[in-house]
A and B are shown apart, each in its own frame.
Chain A
Amino acid sequence: MGRNVTADPAGAVKSYQSGQTTLSNATSVNVTIASVNRAKSMVILNATWGGTTAGAGYSAILDSAGQTSTNLRISEPNGAGSGTLYVSWQVVEYY
């Protein structure tokens, strides 16, 4: 469950977001998220393909021209697409 954390000591978790998405007919997908500070955020990505953890090369980037981001772009490497890729993602923002 996404949530905000009230305490704000440096290094503490400020917010947590998560979700699931799929890539089937595209090599990337843009996921809309609540605004986070890119410099203080960590992205965790887990990609599964036909019941098996997908290989290296998948990436998740907090897209933005500025300091904050509301878009998580998840991409698969060229040529790796085959079937539906199931993606679980998490974004942890720190103070």
Chain B
Amino acid sequence: MRYAQIDSNAICIGVSDLSGPVDAPHMIAIGAQEFPLGRKRVGNAWQDVTPEPVDPSYRSIDKVEAMGLIRTVTGMTPTQEMAFRDDENLALFWRIWREDVGNVIHRDHPLTDQILNGIQAAGYLTAPQRQAVLDNWPVA
């Protein structure tokens, strides 16, 4: 039995082949050839979802500017920055930062939120500093 699982916004967040029937409003029975992941359930149909536009009042910055913004907000000393960059708990974070994160960073992109969450979780950014990064983001 194949199902599409939808979230509270009716967006399909998963497609599952289950071993038995499931009776729940967020589980939509679908055909074997259907794969509506990321689409929105409207009535009995699936519609494509258009991503929300990024706030145009803030401009994109690159990695150098992003690091500068973090230094400014945190007042991080060179020694603290070395610790930040060498922290083994952030090895995966830094690898992703180097290899996966592009050099154009948008303030309101989910990636930015997750990057800040990661730095905060590691203890190099407090909640007020995290907000300050967003508040001091360069405008267009």
| Min C-beta distance of B125 to chain A, whole Å | 11
Contact in complex: A81, B114 (CB < 8 Å): yes
**Nearest-CB residue, chain B, relative to A31:** B14
Contact residues of B: prevailing secondary structure: mixed
Cβ of B83 under 8 Å from chain A = no
Cβ of B122 under 8 Å from chain A = yes
Which residues does chain B contribute within 8 Å of A80, judged by CB atoms?
A: 92-93, 96, 118
Interface residue tally for chain B (C-beta within 8 Å): 38
Q: Out of B2, B5, B93, B110, which one reaches A79, CB within 8 Å? A: B93
The distance in angstroms between the C-alpha atoms of A55 and B93, with both chains bound, is 10
Cβ of A67 under 8 Å from chain B = no
Cβ of B101 under 8 Å from chain A = yes
Given A19-B14, A21-B14, A25-B110, A2–B5 Cβ distance below 8 Å? no
Given A78-B118, A78-B121, A4–B20 Cβ distance below 8 Å? yes
Known: A19-B15, A25-B110, A36-B19. 6 other contacts (CB 8 A): A2-B19, A21-B13, A33-B18, A34-B22, A79-B92, A82-B101
Top 4 A-B residue pairs of the complex, sorted by shortest distance between their CB atoms: A79-B118, A19-B16, A81-B114, A21-B14
Interface residues of B in 1-29 (CB under 8 A from A): 1-3, 5, 13-22, 24, 26-27
Cβ of B111 under 8 Å from chain A = yes
Which residues does chain B contribute within 8 Å of A17, judged by CB atoms?
A: 16-19
Contact in complex: A34, B92 (CB < 8 Å): no
Contact in complex: A79, B117 (CB < 8 Å): yes
The distance in angstroms between the C-alpha atoms of A82 and B98, with both chains bound, is 12
* A 1-44 binary contact with B (CB < 8 Å = 1; else 0): 11110000000000111111110110101011111100000000
